[in-house]
């Protein structure tokens, strides 16, 4: 494949990433002009130490590389999360792994504790099951990260066990709680939420 074909393939894939809207948020494909805002938020140990791949310190070139590589894999779906007035507050991604979608996410510290992660994940999970056709989703949270665990539980994920995973920012491995959400559970929870809205 020539360089031009490679670039075209990337741009076609980027174009196919939809814009997901929630009550307070917009999720869209990252753009190069987002890199500065992404770097400013992601350059924080509290984020890096709770994710597998985010380095610390996290520089503008790290953010540019993140944007350049986003959505270039055949089945990757990488989003920045913004407020409705377009301020970038974080990012999330679904990547295929072990015949399921692996979910990763982070928010800038000023935006923690407002329900944004749960709201964003609901939209990404709906997209993964409805449009991307996944049969199951998986995610991990460090055993020392109760906020992430709670987000996953609020989205219907169930604990499946503990594993040891490499964390780039600490240059070491750490125990991670693993979670899984099957399509059937997601669908039942959606029906339940819909019914509750109708009757309340």
Interface residue list for ligand COA (CB under 6 A): 47, 50-51, 104-107, 112-118, 141, 145-148, 150-151
Looking at the Cβ atoms of 17 and 117, the one nearer to ligand COA is 117
Closest CB 112 distance from ligand COA, rounded Å:
4
Closest CB 89 distance from ligand COA, rounded Å:
9
Looking at the Cβ atoms of 15 and 57, the one nearer to ligand COA is 57
Looking at the Cβ atoms of 15 and 113, the one nearer to ligand COA is 113
Closest CB 20 distance from ligand COA, rounded Å:
16
Separation CA 52–CA 183 (nearest Å): 25
Closest CB 19 distance from ligand COA, rounded Å:
20
Looking at the Cβ atoms of 38 and 47, the one nearer to ligand COA is 47
Cis peptide before 100 (omega within 30 of 0): no
Residues 6+ apart with CB under 8 A from 191: none
Specify the DSSP class assigned to residue 19: P
Which strand (E) or helix (H) includes residue 46? helix 45-48
Give residue 86's Cα distance to chain centre.
Answer: 18
Closest CB 4 distance from ligand COA, rounded Å:
35
CA distances to 82, 121, 122, 200 from 191, rounded to whole Å, are 27, 17, 14, 14
Separation CA 107–CA 90 (nearest Å): 4
Looking at the Cβ atoms of 27 and 107, the one nearer to ligand COA is 107
């Amino acid at each position: 494949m020539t360089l031009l074909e490679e670039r075209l393939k990337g741009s076609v894939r980027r174009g196919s990433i939809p814009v997901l809207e929630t009550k307070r948020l917009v999720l869209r494909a990252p753009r190069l002009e987002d890199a500065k805002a992404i770097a400013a938020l992601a350059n924080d140990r509290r984020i890096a130490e709770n994710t597998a791949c985010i380095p610390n310190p996290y520089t503008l070139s790290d953010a540019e590389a993140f944007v350049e590589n986003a959505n270039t894999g055949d089945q990757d779906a990488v989003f920045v999360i913004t407020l409705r007035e377009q301020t970038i507050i974080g990012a999330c991604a679904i990547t295929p792994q072990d015949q399921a979608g692996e979910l990763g996410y982070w928010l800038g510290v000023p935006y923690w504790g407002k329900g944004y992660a749960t709201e964003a994940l609901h939209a990404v999970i709906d997209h993964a099951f409805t449009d991307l056709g996944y049969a199951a989703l998986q995610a991990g949270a460090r055993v020392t990260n109760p906020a992430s665990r709670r987000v996953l539980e609020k989205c219907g994920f169930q604990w499946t066990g503990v594993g040891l995973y490499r964390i780039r920012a600490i240059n070491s491995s750490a125990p991670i709680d693993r979670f899984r959400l099957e399509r059937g559970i997601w669908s039942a929870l959606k029906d339940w939420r819909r019914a509750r809205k109708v009757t309340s």
